[in-house]
Amino acid sequence: MSGEGQDSGEKSHEPTQQRLDEARKKGDVPKSADLSAAAAYFGLLVALGVAGVGAAGSSGAVLAGYLARAETLAPRHLNSGAGLSFEIALQAIAGFLPLFGLPFLFVLVAIFAQQALVFAPEKLAPRLNRISPLTQAKNKFGPTGLFEFTKSALKLMVISIVLALFLMSETDRIVGLTRAAPKAIPAEMARLAVSLLLQIAVVALVIAVFDVLWQRFDHARKLRMSFQELKEEMKRSEGDPMIKSQRRRRGEEIATNRMMSDVPKAAVVIVNPTHYAVALKWDRRTDGAPVVVAKGVDGVALRIREAAERANVPIHHDPPTARALEAVVEIGAEIEPAHYHAVAAAIRFAEALRAKARERGT
């Protein structure tokens, strides 16, 4: 008994779609911040490729203009203090402002790709467990916290290595900027920045791939269910009238589609002509009676007639027989002896139509 109780309490079952949907409504979705960061890096790279040269040139022209007027601006700078410095910095940076639109757009695309854009008021509500030392300790020293710590340490180490290698390979160029013309400095700095940014973006993307996989795994792990929870959810689902109705509709739709696929095999379709339709299959090489392969009223009857017309199955108008067969004979069952005479007339009608069609074809 104790083993059974432990098994029912152990959360070893994967979360159901209903549990995932409930978590999503609460704002609990797998989301990788590293993927958003990588998207921002690549968005900035694209922005620099599209407008970076123009922005750097514009910034260089502004700085060059101020340097050319250094003698006249020096007294003003001494008198105004930080005001002029702020003005110069603002004008130099203004050319780069359009570059921030694409990174923002790339981040939005990354969030949408993860299906992580969810508005959940419950997430905004204050909760005591957010300031609970015990909860914080579990978060920091649990599997999620250890993974985040390892990931952060790994990112710091890899980016430090990339930065060190970059500085070693570009030292001569960086030192050479001290002797370059003022207008050339911003463009060369932009080239160095793009080169470094590209390397960092690639590293961030690799880390993001692993982080996305981990976030999905960790999200599913947190939502795992015990056997008891699974049973209770199944009871709730089966007791929900809406879910029962949806299941019934799906079952009826599957049965109707399967039935429609048998209409082209029918020998004849007997109709009301508008409200009833019954498709009958019969092979004269067998001793059995005709079999009902499809039947229905109203909308289903219309679909049966349309399927018969597409497959060139003869349609015979016999309202009493159509109503009787639809009411009495189940799909897949042979007709009753009481209907032999009427059905035989319908089959003769169908064979006569087929014979005429063959004669016209020859």
Q: What is the pLDDT of residues 157-183, one digit of tens each?
A: 988 998 899 888 888 887 887 777 776
pLDDT at 251 over 70: yes
Which is it for the CA torsion 182, 183, 186, 190, positive or negative? negative
Q: What is the largest CA-CA distance in the chain?
A: 117
Q: Check residue 6 and give its pLDDT.
A: 44
Provide the token pair at 92: 């130099």
- Strand extents, DSSP E, the chain: 268-271, 276-281, 291-297, 315-317
Which range is most confident: 93-97, 127-131, 192-196, 201-205?
201-205
- Domain-by-domain residue ranges, the chain? 29-117+124-222, 249-361
Q: Check residue 317 and give its pLDDT.
A: 92
User: Bigger pLDDT: 41 or 99?
Assistant: 41
DSSP letter for each residue of 66-99: HHHTHHHHHHHHHHHTHHHHHHHHHHHHHTTGGG
For residue 271, what are the CA distances in angstroms to 111, 136, 153?
Answer: 55, 72, 76
d(CA 18, CA 4): 25
Using 50, 70 and 90 to split pLDDT, how confident is the model at 4?
very low
pLDDT at 99 over 80: no
Which range is most confident: 47-61, 76-90, 122-136, 231-245?
231-245
pLDDT at 203 over 50: yes
Mean pLDDT lowest for which of 55-64, 289-298, 322-331?
A: 55-64
User: Bigger pLDDT: 134 or 306?
Assistant: 306
DSSP assigned state of 286: S
Q: Check residue 260 and give its pLDDT.
A: 87
**Superfamily of chain region 249-361:** secretion proteins EscU (3.40.1690.10)
pLDDT at 220 over 70: yes
pLDDT at 356 over 90: no
Whole-model pTM over 0.85: no
Mean pLDDT lowest for which of 135-149, 170-184, 255-269?
A: 135-149
pLDDT at 11 over 70: yes
Phi, psi values for residue 225, rounded to 5°: -120, 150
Angle formed by the axes of helices 340-361 and 319-328, nearest 10°: 120
Provide the token pair at 154: 């790994």
d(CA 73, CA 80): 10
pLDDT tens figures, 290-308 = 999 999 888 889 999 999 8
Using 50, 70 and 90 to split pLDDT, how confident is the model at 244?
confident
CA contacts within 13 A on the Cβ side of 268: 24
Using 50, 70 and 90 to split pLDDT, how confident is the model at 9?
low
pLDDT at 3 over 50: no
Average pLDDT, the chain: 79
Q: Which of 214, 209, 206, 210 has its CA nearest to residue 30?
A: 214
Laid out side by side, the sheet with 276-281 consists of 291-297, 276-281, 268-271, 315-317
Q: Check residue 2 and give its pLDDT.
A: 43
d(CA 161, CA 103): 25
pLDDT at 35 over 80: yes
Q: Check residue 18 and give its pLDDT.
A: 81
pLDDT at 219 over 70: yes
Q: Check residue 277 and give its pLDDT.
A: 92
Q: Which of 126, 99, 91, 127 has its CA nearest to residue 43?
A: 99
Strand 315-317 and strand 291-297: the pairing is unpaired
Provide the token pair at 83: 């005001």
Q: Check residue 58 and give its pLDDT.
A: 63
Q: Check residue 182 and give its pLDDT.
A: 72
pLDDT at 130 over 60: no
Q: Are 331 and 295 in contact (CB under 8 A)?
A: yes
